[in-house]
Amino acid sequence: MTTAVSRRWRPRSLLQLVLLAFLMVMLPLAVLMLQAGQALSELSRLADQSARQAVEETRRARTLGALALELERSARQYAVVEQESLLDIYDERLAEFRRLLARQSELLPDDPNVKALSSELDKLAELPGLSLEEFESRLTDFLSFAEHTEAMRHATNRRIDDRLDVIRTRAEDVQRRLWWQTAALVSASLILMLLFTRLIIRPVHQLERRILGIGSGGQEARRAPVQGPAELVSLDERLDWLSSRLEELEEQKQQFLRHMSHELKTPLASVREGSSLLADGVAGELSEHQREILELIDASGSELQQLIEQLLDYNLLQHSRLEAERLDLATVAKEVLAKHRLALQQKEMRVDCFDGPLAWRADRTATARILDNLISNAIAYGEDAGRLEIGARVEHDRLVLEVANSGEPIPEEDRPRLFEAFYQGRIRRKGALKGSGIGLSVAADCARLQDGTLELVDDPRLAVCFRLTLPRRAPAIEHDVSTPALQGVQERND
């Protein structure tokens, strides 16, 4: 039953689809983590290298400053004590200073202080070969030498600060890049997540709609086949089988009810016709006792016919639509009461019905069927010589109609299932025949078809009270007129 469209590529199973979704969603995040790790590694390496260079260059600048002081100290000590060893120390310090200055010039190639120090070093290197008088006269050269050394140290610090600014700028660029990459890759992950969520949820929603369509009993419209994991496609195919099977069962049920109606109503009509002939004295005069038995047979036949009609009504109302019209509910209620006049007299029940006119837009047949079932229920389960009250009122944009009777209250455990078809509660029906358990279900269906509700409510005066609520219906918002089932109900009621 798998169609050509559903044979297109798809993951073989729901597990494969979930794993594929997980991998595809995690892929952009993994790329993001990799790029972030590389960026952080680069920044860490750059910061470590810059820190090492900064420490080394700062230390070298300080060393040059200290060597400049030692050179001046050695020269001045030699001018005082005239020891040749001091000149040796002077030469060593001068060579060390020249070596460090050469390395510092790599950091500051264009700095004028480095160039000035190089030329001054050449002049200071001439001091050991001069006479004492000339040596002493040249000691003033150390002032300029010290100034240039200090200026070089400050230039080194500025260069280190510039390098740190470059690193900071680089870090900000990396941060901005990471933010954009994060936004892009997280967005890609979200898009992939939504895509795979749709791939998983869409066939589930299709199956849900199919199940609701099958459960509602309506005709399924032409639909697209489910596309997705193999398990869901297989489930769709099982639903196809289930739908066809339910249609077969529904058709068998309809056929059974039609046959049952014919097979039961035909002999029942003969029985009732025979009892009517006997009651008319065709076969001779009847004694009082025989007439009582005949009346019992006729009453039982009437109840049996009503049960058969209720079963047929329950089936026909499942697919019916109603036609609303403006009617007087008081007149409808009194017409229904007139049908039960003999039963009410036999029950000796006192009836209190609201007076009209009370105009409302509703379906006459469905509303009459609701009242008929509620009144029949009150007669069957109500108290002998009790009370039956029918009241109606309009509240804003809805009509509230109540049917209440005295007698034994409905147990709490029966209330949740009271409107289920074929459910019979703990309270037994009074009379020769047992009820079918679908009267209240038919009444509830008639209310539902009019967008209304039927519920059991508490009444402080009477034991049992059913409340029908119907919304106001405008003429332009009517249901389609297709009521052959209800017309059949009306014909049987007549």
Q: Are 113 and 145 in contact (CB under 8 A)?
A: no
Report the distance separating Cα 169 and Cα 389, nearest Å: 90
**Cβ–Cβ < 8 Å for 456, 466:** yes
For residue 310, pLDDT over 50 is answered with: yes
Is the whole model's pTM more than 0.75, yes or no? no
In the DSSP assignment, the letter for residue 437 is: S
CA angle 9, 14, 16 (to 5 degrees): 70
Q: Give the integer Cα–Cα distance in Å for 488 and 259.
A: 16
pLDDT interval class at 262 (50, 70, 90): low
Average pLDDT over residues 160-174: 83
Highest mean pLDDT among 176-180, 424-428, 468-472: 468-472
Q: Which of the four pLDDT bands, split at 50, 70 and 90, describes residue 473?
A: confident
333 vs 487 pLDDT, higher one: 333
pLDDT at residue number 466: 92
Q: Does position 492 have pLDDT exceeding 50, yes or no?
A: no
Report how far residue 31's alpha carbon sits from residue 43's, in angstroms, rounded to the nearest whole number: 18
pLDDT given at position 220 = 56
pLDDT at 316: 59
Residue 74 vs residues 78, 82, 100: alpha-carbon distances, Å: 6, 10, 19
* pLDDT for position 434: 46
Asked if residue 368 lies in contact with residue 332, where contact means CB atoms within 8 angstroms, the answer is yes
Q: What is the mean pLDDT of residues 77-97?
A: 84
Between residues 386 and 235, the one the model is more confident about: 386
Q: Is the pLDDT of residue 491 over 50?
A: no
Average pLDDT of the residues in 282-286: 71
Say what the pLDDT of residue 465 is. 92
Spatial neighbors of 14 by CB under 8 A, at least 6 apart, are 200, 229, 230, 231, 232
What average pLDDT does range 153-180 have in this prediction? 83
| pLDDT at site 381 | 83
Return all residues near 19 (Cβ < 8 A) that are at least 6 apart.
Answer: none
pLDDT at 426 over 80: no
Q: What is the pLDDT of residue 221?
A: 53
Whether 412 has a pLDDT exceeding 60, the answer reads yes
- In this prediction, residues 449-460 reach a mean pLDDT of 87
User: Which tokens belong to 132?
Assistant: 């004492």
Of the CA atoms within 13 Å of residue 202, those in its CB half-sphere come to: 12
For residues 354-361, give the mean pLDDT: 86
Provide the pLDDT for residue 478: 40
Q: What is the sign of the dihedral through the CA atoms of 398, 403, 406 and 412?
A: negative
Tell me the average pLDDT across 432-449: 71
Does the pLDDT at position 183 exceed 60? yes
pLDDT, position 314? 58
Higher pLDDT, 478 or 128: 128
Q: What is the mean pLDDT of the chain?
A: 77
Average pLDDT over residues 1-18: 56
Task: Report how far residue 290's alpha carbon sits from residue 124's, in angstroms, rounded to the nearest whole number.
Answer: 158
The alpha carbon dihedral of 235, 241, 244, 246 has a sign of negative
List C-alpha distances in Å: 379 to 34, 383, 421, 458.
Answer: 82, 8, 20, 19
What is the band of 280 on the pLDDT scale with cuts at 50, 70, 90?
A: confident
